[in-house]
Structure 1
Amino acid sequence: MTTYEVRSHTERLRNRVFSVVTDAIEMPGGEVVDRDYLVHVGAVGVVALDADGRVALVRQYRPAVRQVLWELPAGLIDVPGESLVDAAARELAEEVDLVAARWDLLADVHPSPGCSNERIRLFLAREIGPVPPEERHERTHEEAELELHWVDLDTAVTMALSGEITNAACVVGVLAAAQSKLRGFDTLRPASAAT
């Protein structure tokens, strides 16, 4: 396989979620070209499946697409030293006031590898219960309007395949959960599996 040697790496912009960089990369044949992309902190997402076979979905406004999208409870890996499964549990509690007693690794996804190195680790959360009212997170900004919708997993699959769900992590999570369920959840990896 061809080796694409990075000749230089230049950071153009940085914020708390991502940076924009330019790499000068040697292509097959020797030509050196510039490629711009985002270096992202990474994220986690949760397919929370209740005892009735329903998945927890939210509707969230996304400025980049100027739409309210169907999504999984999800968020950034932005707490130093926090494990990925702990980040997922935190996001589940913060976004939809839920906790889970059982966690499994469902999938790892690069949602936009043509322009970003972002990686999202998706977990399957089961044995769901509520966060006690006195321990609930106060949501702000776009998250202030998040509302939990329990959707039958088969219905969510139809929503993903029909284009009603377009968020990449949500599509992958819903389809992976449905396929895993069909296989008796035998293909799941431990929540603590290495990245």
Structure 2
Amino acid sequence: MEVDPHLTERTVQTEELLRGSFLHVVRDTVRLPDGGTATREYVRHPGAVMMVPLLEDGRVVLERQWRHPVGQVMTEFPAGKLSPGEEPLACARRELLEETGYTAREWARAGRLHPCIGYSDEFIEIWFARGLKPGRPQLDDEEFVEVISATPDELLAWCRDGRVTDAKTLTGALWLREVLSGAWVLDWQAQSAPS
């Protein structure tokens, strides 16, 4: 049974506009619910993960890095793009280690978010990590990241006052608040060290 046929668009044709090393942009011709046609341009994305790393003392691990499209240093939860065929948990473990140096004893999948539905099919899987063990980050040559920590209250204040404006981190802060309050429960799973 079709859901929401009065709103659903059907792709008739797809044209590739750009295939770069990071971005893949397409233009779809779609059939509208009323029978007409229109075009939709958007970025195709392989998906990503975001981690909410919990330290034993109650703080969370964050990072600060320059984000060229917005021209400023952003404070955000660690995150990274899925490699082809990579499972989200494997990506979360890899990215947490690479960007922050931390490994985690336990992981819990929280949910999924779509950060820019108007122009991209990107999704971001949200993972919580605890039982953290510090190590040395393994950044790419062109990556410059400052690892910091904050209490949940500090993070929420930064969200409120506009210091944190990154959509995935704002969503992560919502999940963090609800998990810490007990309103949203996570299913924690122990994980062996990555090989």
Given the two structures, how large is their TM-score scaled by the length of structure 2?
A: 0.88
- SS of 2:159's equivalent in the other structure is helix
What's the offset of the Cα at 1:26?
Answer: 1.5
Cα offsets for 1:143-194 (capped at 9, x unmatched): 23x111110011101211222111111111122012111117x522467xxx
> Aligned AA for 1:68?
V
Matched, 1:81 2:110: no
Runs of 4+ off more than 3 Å: none
What's the offset of the Cα at 1:29?
Answer: 2.1
* Contact kept? 1:48, 1:55, Cα under 8 Å: yes
Matched, 1:102 2:103: no
Q: How does 1:136-155 map to 2 (within 5 A)?
A: 136-141=137-142, 143-144=143-144, 146-155=145-154
Matched, 1:50 2:55: yes
What's the offset of the Cα at 1:83?
Answer: 1.6
What's the offset of the Cα at 1:140?
Answer: 2.2
> Aligned AA for 1:171?
L
Match of 1:163 in 2: 162
The counterpart of 2:22, out of the listed 3, 12, 17, is 17
Between the aligned partners of 1:189 and 1:127, the Cα distance in structure 2 is 15
* Contact kept? 1:12, 1:20, Cα under 8 Å: yes
Given the two structures, how large is their TM-score scaled by the length of structure 1?
A: 0.88
Between the aligned partners of 1:189 and 1:116, the Cα distance in structure 2 is 29
> Aligned AA for 1:88?
A
* Contact kept? 2:99, 2:139, Cα under 8 Å: no
Root mean square deviation, CA, Å: 1.7
Q: Which runs of 5+ in 2 are unaligned?
A: 190-195
What's the offset of the Cα at 1:28?
Answer: 2.7
In the comparison of the two structures, how many residue pairs are matched?
Answer: 184
- The range that moved more, 15-24 or 67-76, is 15-24
- The range that moved more, 3-12 or 43-52, is 3-12
* Identity between Structure 1 and Structure 2 (%): 33
